[in-house]
Structure 1
Amino acid sequence: MLHVLYLVHDLSDPAVRRRVIMMQAGGATVTVAGFTRSREPIREIATIVPIDLGRTSDGRFTQRVAAVARAALTLGSRLKGVARPDLIIGRNLEMLALANRAKAFFSGDVPIVYECLDIHRLLLRRDMTGKALRFVERTLSNNAQLLITSSPAFVRQYFAPFGQINLPVEVVENKVLELGPQETEAISRAGKSKDEPWKIGWFGALRCRTSLELLSAFSRKMEGRVEIVLRGRPAYSEFDDFDRFVADEPFMQFHGAYANPEDLQKIYDEVHFSWAIDFYEAGQNSNWLLPNRLYEGCRYGSVPIAMQGTETSLFLQERGIGFSLGEPTVEVLAALFDEMDTDRYERAREKVKAQERSTWVFDQNDCRALVERLGRLTRANEHGAVLRVAA
């Protein structure tokens, strides 16, 4: 059985839990170690007691670098009771540094996988800071055997043109994890009633101030014809006062965190549209990612709204589904909903429902395929082109 040491930047991140479950479902044994950004310690992740390496904070890059440096000094003692892994995965750049440290601790011949799901804006700078960070990434990845990323645009727009990684690439999209028997129909939302307002759900990692302000102004302009429902984990460092702002909004509600994937059907069943837009790093990472909410919303029948010129919009365009805004303005968004009626919405929803289940879902077989792919690294060093798995 493959034993994976999984080094993560945030033990409280729901996506970490999902990845752990995926590897377990594929037949791997997982040891998890990492930092936490939550106020409360993380006692358990998918039945695993994690190794806590300390606290870090959103938006404080220097503090994170210092925390990684401290962890590197004590990593050997933290891992002393851990059986030698077959594979080490470093999730994000700072954890790739610790993966290299762990590799040395475990005799130096354990394969490393670099899991990069976001391209930090500092890596894209053209000044000495950006050049230095890219040099660090190239150096640390010299000991890696595989890159896992979640969007092909990250390879097209960053890794290839900057010459960062000379590795095989596995694109594992942020799909909904479903490990039970295959469901032929997972969409239960009834059609919109005559007097019901349209509801847009913005779920997941809430870190985009521009989205919050745009949806606020838009919902006020629509005077109750459209309501905004927020769920997930706000990045409080990105807002002046998120809770106060939302509390003062007449047509916006925040319902807190949710369990993924357990609560997905329930929460998406309460909205008509999903907000698949992020301006947090517009023109860079935000344009290139394929967010969790894209797959979650479409799996459960909400119609996605994206921005033109992004990888999400291209994804929707290729499948002929959803709506893409030409400009991020109240007027453009209002024009979309001024033309929205029940028939147009139902046609858009039927197009989403008509997509293959595998477009949105990562199932048991996909978990096995992923673990098998990882397992091959322990048997041979592989060199290959970009691969895309049904994940």
Structure 2
Amino acid sequence: MRCLLLLVVFFVAGPWKHPGEARPLVPAVMLFGDSLVDIGNNDYIQTAAKANFPPYGRDFQDHIATGRFCNGKVLSNFIGEALGFTGSPVAYLIPEASGENLLSGANFASAQSGYYDQTAHMYNVVPLSQQLEHFKEYRHKLVVQVGSNQAQSIISDSLYIISAGSNDYLFNYYVNPFIYKSQDQFSDLLIGILNNTVAVLYGMGARRIGVFSLPSFGCAPLAVTVFGHGGNDTCVTRLNNDAMRFNRKLSTSVELLSKRYHDLKIAVLDLYTPLYSLVTSPGSQGLEDSRRGCCGTGTVEATVFLCNPISIGTCPNATAYVFWDSVHPTEAANNVIADSLVDGINLLVM
């Protein structure tokens, strides 16, 4: 699938050599949301939701744990590379996020965040509303760097990615279900926040927005361990059904947004299908184990307390695993998922 995007780069920008050498398809990429795209913002806030320690980053460049919840690259890396960059744009909270480093965009995502600010507050991470405030700051810095006309051109032609919702369910709604009257009401709350987020981004100049669907989070080892009642099922059907209901509402909402803002390109980027396929048929993509995470026992590990340098049983070869820890995909799985997003991203950038 990625070959289609690379061919587009060839004809639009010249021969494809290495990431960053050809002219990118968009001037910049802006990323908002959670750990599926966060590359280290949480390293610079006071939270337990960090991944800046081994064995995270074990297979990343120079084997350094950068704050990515993965053994290597996350989706933002692969998306950036496919668009012609060297990887994800810079994490906004790091000291180096200034000057020319901001010209190719910024990554505002914060692991453990969601659409609902209360989810982020529960874990002391950066809520989506604050990520939007950071984007406002970014715009001002961009104007100082390149002037208002060029800054506006960068803002309007950039690709925006929103990755949120999984934490709202797994670490908020399912933990506190009595706070909300029904799953439908909770999903309506999240969709309303998405609509407002798109409106805010549009008002600040965004014109190309990709929204991740909810993945099949009922297949995550943590979900199976906690909500599977000790069964041997590959996935928890009830949780996946919740994700699918949300995704149907998301598709309807995105369609309405595209009609409301006639010059806005917006699309749902499906994470549910590729992850579900990896879990139920890992061998089709050259993987082997979809029931356990590579780190530790792979059943509940997802924080410093459970996936750490002395984790017992961490696998020697993560390329055979769908999940790195109990929630997050391995680099190998992220690569497959990113490939599946190419067609949707093509619709946004062309």
TM range (shorter): 0.3 to 0.5
Tell me which protein shows more strand as a share of its residues.
Answer: 1
TM-score (norm 1): 0.37
TM-score (norm 2): 0.41
Tell me which protein shows more helix as a share of its residues.
Answer: 2
